[in-house]
Amino acid sequence: MSLADHTRYRIFKDILARNIMFGLTVFSLLLAVIIGLGLYFKSAPILNEHSLWSMLSSSSWRPFKGEFGFYPFIMGTLWVTIIAIVIALPLCLLSGIYLSEYAHPFIKRLVDPMIDILAGIPPVVYGVWGVLVVVPFIGDKIAPHFVEYSAGYSVLAGGIVLAIMIVPLIISILTEIFASVPKELRDASLSVGATKWQTIKFVILRKSTPGIFAAVVLAISRAFGETIAVLMVCGNISQVPHSVFDSGYPLPALIANNYGEMMSLPLYDSALMLAALILFVIILIFNAVSRIILVRIERRFAL
Partner 1 sequence: MRRFEELFFKTLMILATFIILGSLMMILFAVLKRGLPAMNLDMITKIPSGGFYIGKEGGLLNAIAGSLFIVIGATVLGLLISIPIVIYINIYLPPKSFLANITRLSSDVLFGIPSIVYGAFGFTLMVYLGIRASLFGGILAVTLLITPILIRSMDEVAKLIPKDLKDAALSLGATRYEIIKVILKQISPGITTAILLSVGRAIGDAASVLFTAGYTDSIPTSLSQPAATLPLAIFFQLSSPIPEVQDRAYAAALILTVIVLVLSLTARYYSRKFSKNKI
Residues 42-71 that bind partner 1 (CB under 8 A): 42
Cα–Cα distances in Å, from 262 out to 23, 145, 268, 302?
36, 40, 5, 50
Nearest distance, CB of residue 103 and partner 1, angstroms: 8
Long-range CB pairs of 14-19, under 8 A, 24+ apart, other chains included: none
- By the rule CB under 8 A, 228 interacts with partner 1: yes
Is position 4 an interface residue for partner 1 (rule: CB under 8 A)? Answer: no
Alpha-carbon separation of residue 8 from 2, 17, 21 (angstroms) = 10, 14, 20
Q: Using alpha carbons only, what angle is made at residue 109 by residues 160 and 127, rounded to the nearest 5 degrees?
A: 25
Closest to partner 1 by CB, 65 vs 132, is 132
In the region spanning residues 142 to 161, those forming contacts with partner 1, defined by CB under 8 A, are none
We find the least distance from the C-beta atom of residue 38 to partner 1, in angstroms, to be 5
Tell me the closest approach of the beta carbon of residue 148 to partner 1, in angstroms.
26
Answer yes or no whether residue 195 interacts with partner 1 by CB under 8 A. Answer: yes
Q: Which residues of 218-257 are buried (b: 16+ CB within 10 A; e: fewer)?
A: bbbbbbbbbbebbbbbbbbebebbeebbbbbbbbbbbbee
CB of 167 to partner 1, least distance (A): 6
Of 47-55, 69-77, 174-182, 193-201, which part binds partner 1 (CB under 8 A)? 193-201
Establish if 125 lies at the interface with partner 1 (CB under 8 A).
yes
Q: Which is nearer to partner 1, 24 or 86 (CB)?
A: 24
Which residues are paired to 62 by β-bridges? 67
